[in-house]
Amino acid sequence: MKQKTILDVKQLQTYFYLEADRVAKAVDDITFSIHPGETVALVGESGSGKSMAALSIMQLIRKPGRIKQGSIRLEGKELLQLTNRQMAQIRGKDIAMIFQEPMTALNPVYTIGNQIGEILRKHQGLNRQQAKQEAINLLQTVGIPRATEIIHEHPHQLSGGMRQRVMIAMAIACKPKLLIADEPTTALDVTIQAQILDLLMQLKEQFHMSLLLITHDLGVVSEYADRVIVMYGGQMVEEAAVKELLQNPKHPYTDGLLASLPNMEEHAERLGTIRGTVPPAYAYPAGCRFSTRCPAVMDICHVKAPSLKQLTPEHQVRCHLYANGGDLS
Amino acid sequence: MYAYTIRRVLIFIPMLIMLSIIVFGLAKAAPGDPFTGKILDPTVDPEVFEQQREALGLNDPIPVQYARWASAMATGDFGTSMYYKGKSVQSLIQERALNTIYLGLFSLAITILVAIPIGMYSARNPYSLLDYSATTFGFMGLAIPNFFFGLVAIYLLSIKLGWFPAQGTISGTEIGGWEEWKSRLHHMVLPGITLGLAGTASYMRYMRSEMLDVLKSDYIRTARAKGMGERNILYKQALRNAIIPIITLMGFEFGALLSGAIITEQVFNYPGIGTLFINSIMNRDYPVIMAITLLLGVAILIGNLLADIFYSLVDPRIRYD
């Protein structure tokens, strides 16, 4: 089954060269695709490498980080071979990104209209007047009332939810093919979170975008994603369609993430936790990177790193439990 | 904004009254008056000096003397110099003030034009050769005392190489028009650099660290994610944010330049407020000392007010109302 894809990431490695002998493998050999109109969720704890994967796609990795190798193709076009200047033509136009912290993501000294307008002038060659009009339209599209006044205001005059709407307006300004949303609602009030996510979904339909949704919230995943990639220690540990993953999780880490969700029906006394913390990216344990925290750890896990196994055409997992492709759990 | 400015100016009044009391008190607390410490003509009867003191009001109770001086100052009468017989303090200051203002502005211009571009470059290319050189220069600039740097500059650039004049404001032959200005600028080069040295060094460091901070911030990442070019990111997105704290410091710089000028002008024998101030201290010419000290106070207050006003122009989060 060969489908048309928007984004193809192959064997991407993003390393941070901290000191001469210390290398943080923030993203270590990930491969995935995103199809037109699809919502793919990238899930994992803090430090699992999901944000770094997204920033790698945008080529916004800061020193001492570097994309060591791999391939990132947008509609078949290799992005890693582009110059800085060529990549700047792609950013904001074909791939747009919104960030976790709307409070700090907007430039405090320029007006909203200026910040939305400059992307339109840059990528669509609009003049000031046209850009201003289009900025008003965009603000109305993302559901901001008083758009004609808001364009003259500065970020500090807006609430967090409003600022995130402004970020979304900037992201959709050039109707990108792919929108990357890095924890877009984590910093917002719970009541605003659903509004923002619903807005993202509605815009995704309206502008025929694909969405790469980065989150640690499996509740969000179950509601909005089509397909899920679970990341741990810079690697993909499981990938499946959302329903399959939620009902039939294979990797002990995915299990642990699901167990930590509150469940309306079961009234558990305590929510499940995964013991320990994510190891730093420069000091992964030998063998499987999850072995130090895994409840189902075996001897082989400390010795040999498991590889990604295809269980069904739409479900793959990185765990020795499924070494023979069978289901042992 | 206007209301704020007016309020700030009104606050100046009690501050100035306090300052005048301190200045006057210090002047009176210092021992001696214009008649002491001089080799006086022994044929003159000491009684005559006493009469002079009486005539100048130096024997009145101190509050009376203060009230007399302060009310005169308030009406713009700065009094007469005790050393330059019969010359008004106002005319003495007026003769010198412009020279000091030119020197201060020239030095400030050097500071801004050198410190900000180099600071930005250092932040863009940290740990590059130029960054290390700038850092070295920065610490040297902060560590070397003004007067010493001035003396070395005179020795090397003026006496040995003869590139710049060592003292004065103009050579005296070129009066009027363009030639005079060229001569003035030429004379200001060494004192201007000397005066601005420490400021340049520290602003360069501030600019570098501010810029490094700003370039790491989320909104710069947003700008990159929007596909904005490097030039836009540096000069539009980052510069205006990085310059905000620098503006606050500039307000203090205003006063620092004037007090720094006292030493620098002395080294270069530059006829400004600074040399007048030192000479007045040597001559115990209290009316001049007090007037200049008070003027420095006013200059510092105005400098801070200007900084606050500029601050609100650059940073929309600051609104005074």
The CA distance from B63 to B78, in Å, is 18
Min Cα distance A96 → chain B (Å) is 7
> Confidence band (pLDDT; 50, 70, 90) for B24?
confident
| Distance to chain B for A109, nearest Cα, Å | 6
Subunit contact A107:B227, Cβ cutoff 8 A: no
Radius of gyration (Cα) for chain B, nearest Å?
A: 24
CA B195 to each of CA B97, B103, B156: distance values in angstroms, whole numbers, following the listed order: 16, 8, 17
The answer to whether residue A34 sits within a structural domain is yes
- Dihedral (CA of B255, B196, B216, B242) sign: positive
Whole-number pLDDT of residue A265: 67
Q: Report pLDDT digits (tens) over B35-51.
A: 665 656 667 777 777 78
Residue B89: name the closest of B293, B261, B255 by CA: B293
Tell me how far apart the alpha carbons of residues B17 and A230 are, in angstroms, rounded to a whole number.
Answer: 71
Amino acid at residue number A131: A
Alpha-helical regions (H) of chain A: 50-58, 84-90, 102-105, 112-124, 128-141, 147-150, 160-172, 190-207, 218-224, 242-247, 252-259
Contacts of A104 in chain B (CB under 8 A): 217-219
Min Cα separation A200/chain B (Å)? 18
**Candidate from A36-50, A71-85, B24-38 with smallest mean pLDDT:** B24-38
Domains with residue ranges and CATH for chain B: 93-273+304-314 (1.10.3720.10)
Report phi then psi at B136, rounded to 5: -60, -50
Check: CB of residue B148 under 8 Å from CB of residue B188.
Answer: no
pLDDT of residue A239: 96
Asked whether residue A106 is assigned to any structural domain, the reply reads: no
Q: Which residues of chain B lie closer than 8 angstroms to A83, CB-CB? A: none
Residue A329 has pLDDT above 50, yes or no: no
Question: Which position has the higher pLDDT, A166 or A191?
Answer: A166
Share the mean pLDDT of chain A: 91
- At residue A10, the pLDDT reads 95
* Closest listed residue to residue B214, CA positions, set B197, B181, B187, B236: B236
Tens of pLDDT, residue by residue over A154-164, are 999 999 999 99
Contacts of A84 in chain B (CB under 8 A): 230
Interface with B, mutate which of A58, A109, A138, A178 (most B CBs under 10 A)? A109
pLDDT at B174: 60
Predicted pLDDT at A321? 92
CATH number, position A72: 3.40.50.300
CA distance B310 to B244: 9
Contact between B221 and A109 using a beta-carbon 8 Å cutoff: no
Query: Is A106 within 8 Å of chain B by CB?
Result: yes
Q: Choose from A107, A138, A174, A180 for mutation: most chain B CBs within 10 A.
A: A107
Tell me what percent of the residues of chain B surpass a pLDDT of 70.
94
Residue B88 has pLDDT above 90, yes or no: no
Residue A101 lies in a domain: no
* Residue B36, pLDDT score: 64
pTM: 0.82
Q: Bigger pLDDT: B40 or B149?
A: B149
State the pLDDT at residue B289: 86
What local confidence, expressed as pLDDT, does residue A264 receive?
Answer: 64
Does position B280 have pLDDT exceeding 60, yes or no? yes
Interchain CB contact of A86 with B (< 8 Å): no
Interface residue B68 vs chain A (CB under 8 A) = no
Nearest to B103 by CA among B257, B255, B251: B257
In-domain check, residue A114: no
Distance CA A170, CA B87 (A): 68
Interface of A with B in 146-205 (CB under 8 A): 154, 156, 167, 170
Q: What is the DSSP code (8-state) at residue B241?
A: H
- Is the pLDDT confidence value at B183 over 70? yes
Find chain B residues with C-beta within 8 A of A167's C-beta: 222
Whether residue A108 and residue B314 make contact (CB cut-off 8 A), yes or no, is no
The whole domain housing A17 covers 7-94+174-322
Please compute the mean of the pLDDT values over residues A188-205 and round it to a whole number: 91
Q: State the nearest Cα–Cα gap between B11 and chain A, in angstroms.
A: 29
Which pLDDT value is given to residue B247? 84
Span B96-115, average pLDDT: 89
Mean pLDDT of A52-67: 93
Which chain A residue's Cα is nearest to B215? A62
Q: What is the mean pLDDT of residues A310-317?
A: 92
Question: Which of residues B314 and A306 earns the better pLDDT score?
Answer: A306
Query: What is the mean predicted confidence (pLDDT) over A86-105?
Result: 93
Residues, chain B: 321
Say yes or no to pLDDT of A328 above 70: no
Return the pLDDT at B239.
Answer: 92
Cβ <8 Å between B218 and A104 = yes
Residues of A in contact with B237 (CB under 8 A): 107
Q: Do B228 and A118 touch (CB under 8 A)?
A: yes
Mean per-residue pLDDT over chain B, rounded: 85
**Contact status, residue A62 vs residue A145, Cβ threshold 8 Å:** no
Q: Note the pLDDT of residue B48.
A: 78
Q: Name the residue among A89, A93, A106 with its Cβ closest to that of B219.
A: A106
CA dihedral B223, B224, B229, B230 (to 10 degrees): 100
**pLDDT for A267:** 66
> What integer is the mean pLDDT of A32-45?
94
pLDDT confidence tier of residue A66, bands split at 50, 70 and 90: very high
Complex ipTM, two decimals?
Answer: 0.88
Per residue in B198-242, pLDDT (tens digit) is 889 989 999 999 999 999 999 999 999 999 988 899 999 999 999
3-state class of A22 per DSSP? strand
Decide: helix, strand or coil at residue A17: strand
Give the lowest-confidence range in A40-44, A291-295, B171-175.
B171-175
Whether chain A has a CB inside 8 Å of the CB on B218: the answer is yes
Between chain A and chain B, the number of residue pairs with CB atoms below 8 A apart is 78
Nearest CA in chain A to B126: A63
B236/B230 Cα distance (integer angstroms): 10
Element (DSSP H or E) covering residue B94? helix B89-124
Share of residues in chain A with pLDDT > 70 (%): 95
Q: What total of structural domains would you count in chain A?
A: 1
Distance between B117 CA and the closest CA of chain A, angstroms? 21
| Contact with chain B for residue A63, Cβ under 8 A | no
